Every structure is written in C-alpha cells, then in structure tokens.
Structure 1
Amino acid sequence: MPIGKLEPFDLNSQKWPAYVRRVKQYIVLNEIKNELRVPLLITIVGQDTYSLMCDLCSPAHPESKTFDELVNLVAQHLEPQRSEIAERHVFRLRRQRVGETLTDYLQNLKHLATTCNFEANLEENLRDQFVSGLANEAMRSRIFAEKDIKYKEAVELALALEAAERHAEVSGALSVGVQEASGATSSGAEEGLHQARTRRGGSGRGGSGRGAQAGAGSAACWRCGKAHPPDRCRYANYNCDVCNKRGHLKVMCKQVRYGNQPFGRQNFVCEPEEISDDEDIFNIELMAKGTKPFFIKVHIDGYPVECEIDTGSRISAISESFYKQHFIHKPITSQNILLRSYAGSPIESLGSIAVNVTLGKVTKKNLALHVIKNGSRPLLGREWIRALSIKQISFFHEIHEDSIVTRLAAEFPEVFTDKLGTCKKTIKLELRDREPVYFRARPVPLALRARVRAELERLEAEGTIYRVEHAEFGTPIVPVVKENGDIRICGDYKVTINPKLKREYYPLPRIEELFSTLSGGEEFSKIDLTHAYAQTILTEDSQPYTAINTHLGTFVYRRTP
C-alpha cells in the first residue's frame, strides 16, 4: 500500500516547482522504479494538467516523453522567464499593509524574493526591505538604533516588539475592566478582554465624593472603551455603524449596549481592527418583541445552505456538527484567531475550510468557512457579503434582487462594475511656461500616516497614480479627513502649476436658459459618477505636471486629480 497521498495539481495555483518536489519525495518514499515515474506523474496531476501536457507535447503524446521533459515543459509554460529588474522592483515596493502581522508580511517578502535572484545577498536584502517597509514608525526607529544588526536579529527584535505592544494593550484593557467591575468574580476578570462598565449618570454632579473621584480616575473612554481620555481618542471623528452618529464605535453604542433593538437573536463579531488585535464573537439576546433573524440561501460546494445574514460579523461560520454532516471530506486548516462571547468566555474555533460559494450568478472560489465547536446555525458574515456582491438587503422582507437592476446589470456589465470608468476624451494640460516648480513633501501627522498610506496604495492599485523615482515638478499633498473617517489625497496645486495653467473660459448657462431647454420634458434622469474626475485620462505629456510628493515617495497622476 503506497505511503502518503498526492492531490491533483491546481493550474491556478502556479506552484508547479513545489508540486514537483512533493512528487519526487513521494517517488523516493514509495521506491517507485524509473520506468514508472512518467505513468505516476500523468496519473496524479489530474485531467486539466494532463490536457495541458497533451497540448504542449503535440503532435507527440506525454507518454513518449521522459519525466524531466514533462516537468520542464509544464514549468516553462506556467512560469516563463521573468525580468530580474522588474521582480526586484516589485520586491522594493512591498510595504507592510494595515492590519497585516509581521509573520504574514515576512512570508510575502520571502515569496517575492524567490524570483529576484539575490543568491548570497538574500538575507541582507530581506533585512533591508523588512525594516524599511514596517508600518510602525517606532518599531522601525528602534531597529535603526541597533548597530550591525543581522537579518534574524532584526526579525526577532521586531516580533518581540510586536508581542510586547499587544501584551501592553491587553494588560491595559484588563486592568480597566478589573477596576470598574464592581463585584465581578476573579475568573471573569482574568478571562475578559471585555470591560465591565456601569451606566453613566444617576448620581448627578453632586454624587458621593470618594466614589465619583475613584471612578473618574479609572474610567474608560466612552468612544472606544480603551483606557484613555475621550478627548484624545483617535475615533472621535468616526461614525457608528449602528446609530450613524459621529464620535464613538458601535461596540460603545447605547443601542448595542442597552438593547434598543427588535427581539431576536443576533450573532456578530466585534471589529478587531478598531479596538484590539483579537476577535470576539458576541451572542446577544435583544429584549423586544418582533422580527426574526434574516436568512439567505447560498450553494456551498453545490449544496444549498440557508445562512443567517450578519453584517456585524467579519467571518462566516458553521457548527462542528454541520461540518461533519456535509463537509467532512474537506480538511480543516487551523487559524490563529481568538474568539470570545459577549460575556468574555472563549469560543473554540476548530479552524476553517476552503469552499466554493454560489449566489445567483455570482460564484466565488476558496472562501474561508470557519468551523465552531458547539456552534449554532450557519452564519454569513461581511467577507462573504462583499465577495458575493450582495448590494441590497431588506430588513423588513426577505433579501431579494431587483429584477430591473439585475437585467440592466446583465445588459450593461461595463457600467455596473466596481472599477473606475474611463472617458473616451483625454485632457491635455497647457502651461504658459514649462519651468519646473518643485516643493518637498510636507510632514503628515502620525495619526493619519496609516490611512494616507492605505489611500495611496488604493489609488496605485486601481491605476489612478503610479510611482516614479524622479520628477521635475513636485506638489505637496494635503490629506483631508472625510466624514466617514476615510482620507482624500489632495495636491496643493495652487503653489505649483495652477498659476501656470492656460484656462479655457466657458460661460455658464443662466437658469432661464436651463428651464427653456428642459421645458416639455416628462422624465428626467440624474447620473452620479463615482470619482468622476478620476474617470478622465491625462495625456502622457501632461502627467508629469501632476507629480505629488508624499512621505512614501513621488507619485504621478495617470487620471485627473
């Protein structure tokens, strides 16, 4: 009986060399003869890869080739020769993303370095890019202070600093919870990342002196729940997802804390990226009569499953019994995730499985479905809601699709897309003189740096801007905070190219002329374009004028800023 098992090769994974190494180990482990290596490879790779081999070997057949010839044919097809300069350029641009752990960031760097041909200088290049791409300024400065630090030492120091920072946050939250919980048990205090709080008010300004003073000294921020004064909270300009009021997060909202919701059972996960690095599953009983939970039917690996809609949960989950009943054939991958109930008791997660999910005409592959021990009904969270493009949810009736919108989306798919549209006409910037004007980047507040970085990465990913190493023109940026807390990147062009622009003067029509044009009309439509200015392309000779200087480097607008 053979030892081990090899699954068919997935052409979409593009990891042929790693698969071949596993095949060779399987051959060695089972002492397979040389004349049987080709039949073994053809048998285990699967139908799709075998069809590819037949196409690559045509007019001959794969059976007529040697093992090494088949391996090389598939490798050359899946991984053509790459440009070393381009691969190193991509490697140098890699930065730690918001919310990305150091281990994930380092793993991605190592993956990018495999095609850079660093050879003997691999660890030196990994060290330099790892440190320069850190999102935490204080951590980077701490590593810079070390003299002649090696790659492994830099990684160990960064991981230690990250662990210390997390421990400090958890310890701070725990101490606040213990101080404020009157009569709480010691076991509850040890468990809880959630703090026990009493309602504000009741005693008025003339409350008892000692009790009021003691409570004020250890009070948590009413905006986010952490231990700091409310006037210094970073979430002061954030909008609550529940009441839509500015100034606090949904976990501190009165409607969530005091149960001003219709009766029913709601499962949701607290935003870990907003408060801490841990994730908490809440199971809330809302004390009012009325509505039941909302459900939607999706097909998971072809099997119809009725899931409860939960926009407060990031993950989608099923119970262990449901997994054993329908998905026992799928292996569970362990996840480094911490789940806690509303009371603070831990919820055991067995890991997650990768499934294919279909809703209507939308199919997504390899979505993560978490398996919870002693869990309840299947839960559909925000990750799946975004992936399945669920745009409309009715909280009074069942979730349904608008037939008119669906028909229009099918007829004009290029209009109903999340990507930026493109106007057919390009814009050319005419300057009175082409004498370069250059201003250095202005300092960005530390509290906004992460969000500015995220916005620049989004603009670069969608093709609105692109990075350059040198620019004759340079405009400083002004980050503007939107009402929802997002960042808008604005170039201060009034100090650079605005005075030099040749303007086209166009007379605006009067209101009488507009009414005269619209007279006799019966139906009127309105168009609201997303990022309307960004849908117009600049000519290539106009793009260098729009260069902006940031703390991350120089970028040039491909589209109208």
Structure 2
Amino acid sequence: MSQLPALENFDCDGDSNSLGSRWEKWKRALNIYLSATGVDVPQKRRAVLLHTAGFALQEIYYNLPGAHVEETESNDVFKIAVEKLDEYFAPKQSFLYERHLFRLMKQEPEEKFEKFLIRLRNQSSKCNFARKEDDLIDQIVEKCSSSDLRKKILTLGDSVTIDKIIMEANAIETVERQLKGFQVRSNIDVNKIGTRPKNPNNIRCTRCGSPHHDNEYDKCPAKNANCDKCGFKGHFKSQCRTSYKRRMATANANAVRNAKKMKPNDQSKGTGQPTNQPIKPPSNSPPSNINYVFHIDEDAEIICQVGGVNVNMLIDSGSKTNIIDDRTWEYLKSNEVIVSNQQRGSDQVFMAYGSKEPLKVLGSFEALIAIGPEKQPAKFYVIKNGTRSLLGKETAKKLNVLKIGMSKADKSI
C-alpha cells in the first residue's frame, strides 16, 4: 500500500465561492486514501490529514479554537479535526439559497448529460428535498439542452424514472455523435471534389496552357520552344492547333529542303562503296533513293501478321516503304518469323520528320504480310533505334486498308 501516489495539497487560497465544494471533494479523496493504506488509528489519521493537506491548511488548523486536542479514550482526534475544518471551509447555508442555486443550474452546450446529472445530484444533496428524484426530473425537463430528450420524458409521463432518463439520454447522444460523423465524412468528400483552384479572370496561356498568365507573358516557357507535333516554334504539343494539312505541307517542304542539303556521300550510305559521281545541282524533287518518314499523330495503328507473327504497325500514307524498328525485328526473330531475301545494309536513305541526319538502316527482308483475309508479299527495312513500325502507302493500298481519293458514285442512286 505504500506505493499509492500521494494526495495533492488542498488549495486553501482558491476561489472562495467554490471553497466548500473543493473541501468536500478533497476530504472524500482523503478518506479513500486512508482506507486504501489501512490507517485506522485516529491520531495517525489526523497526522496523515495534516501532512497531505499542506502548510496552508496546517496554519489554519492550529489557529482554529478547539481543533487540536490531546487524544483520550473518550474523544476521536481525527473526527474533531475534520468537524472544525468543516465549520471553517463549508459553513452551513440556508436550504432556500441552495435550492435557488439548484434551480439556476442548466446543461451547458456540448456538456454530456451524465456530467449535468452529477452536478444536479451534488447540489440537490444540499437542498433537503423531500422528493429528491422528482425534483431532479423536473430540473432535467426544464434545463436539459436536448429537445429530443425532453420529448421522450414527456412521452413516458408519470412512469418516468431517473434510470429511464439516463438510458434515453445516452441513446440520443450516441445517435447525435454518429450523425456528426456522417456529416464530417460527407464534407471531406465534397472538399476533395472542390479542391481544384478556380481561375476567376479566365486567364489561360495558349502557348503552354498555364492559368497564371496569358500568351503575351515574356517568360512563358513555351515561347521559344519547338512543338513536337507540328514543328513550329512558340507553343507546346499540348496546345498545338496547327491543322493536319498544314503539318503535312510543312513536313514535305522540310524533307525537300533537307534532301537538297545532303552531301553526295550521304546518298550512298549503307552500300559500303564510295562514289565518284559529280555533284549535280539540286532539283525541286529529292533523289529517288531518299525516303521520307512522316509519322503524324492521326496515323492509324493496325495489327498485321508479318511472316506469320502479329505486330502493331502505323499506316504511314506519306511513306513509300515499310519500316520495322530494331526492337520489333528482334521480337519477330524470337518468334521464328518466316522471311526471304534477307540483306544487310541498304542503298536506300530514310529521313525522319524534322531531322537533317538520315536514319541508320540495319538491313532489309521480304515477307508475306496479312491483314484479315488480305495477303501480299512486301519488303521491309529495319531501322536502328526506330520508335514505331510503319506500313507504307503502297502496301497499305494493296491490303485494302488505305484508300486515296474518292470512290466513284453509284449510278443506281
């Protein structure tokens, strides 16, 4: 029992209006402590009281007339000490005044009903009520904060008891907490949907898409950038508004311009043989062995069977030849593709869109390509570090997956 925590000293200098109630609570804690430690000798009980209460209470005790007496067989020194301290800290008040305080008591906002009931019971013990439970019920009906509880009590009528009121109050408070939980969760979900910042001035840059400045902003990151879609300067790909026809016209013009700038040795790249042919003046059309690859976003992707192996290819209406990238070529070989006339290198030159350097051709092969019921023999060129496999215009037309121009009108219509 010696391991029990010590009591706090009694606060003698606190609020004088609550001094009596504080003394009653501290005295109750002292009696519990004495019972737990097994101290039952009156003189020792008085010593524990004075020791735990502190110096301030000791000063009051030794100055109260008749408080400190010698122990005899006829007197209980602990009981005498407590009675004298009761007279000092909790002088008796008028029952009328205590009842007045009781009638003023009400349930505070956010106060649980159980705490409100405890306060009512503590005060009613000082009021000398003849019908204590009835007075408690009357005060609860008048001063409880829950209108739902008030309705329940009135519904029960004369059969109402304190125990029934406690049960109804706990049920109502539990439901209210659950409803608040639903409301908080609903508010969180709404906030998640509405967290996107608004743009009150409706400002948006048509170059980079930023909502924080317009397209006249000097420090716009897209102002000097080249678009990956159309090749024009001054905007990002995500904000590109260049039409398909204009992109194709620009791509063709760039291809012709790049072909004119090529050196003679570049045109024989891949053959391994130097050329001694004289340099001819550039013409308006590129040399016949120059192939231009114009992969545009609108090109359609289709599943083809090349040499018995399924691969995805893009229909490139701007290319005359069929292109296989090196990764797809490795995939075809690993799946035992059936090919013929396989050759290393090539005398053909391939130019990518917007590039001044030709693509590196690893070699070529011939294979049967099939799309649905249509089958055609075709030649394919393998490009190193290629990004996509392309199905050329001629092969696509033969496989009936690409039509150029308008079909003749049906005369029967």
Please say which structure displays the higher CA radius of gyration: 2
Give the structure-2-normalised TM-score: 0.40
Give the structure-1-normalised TM-score: 0.30
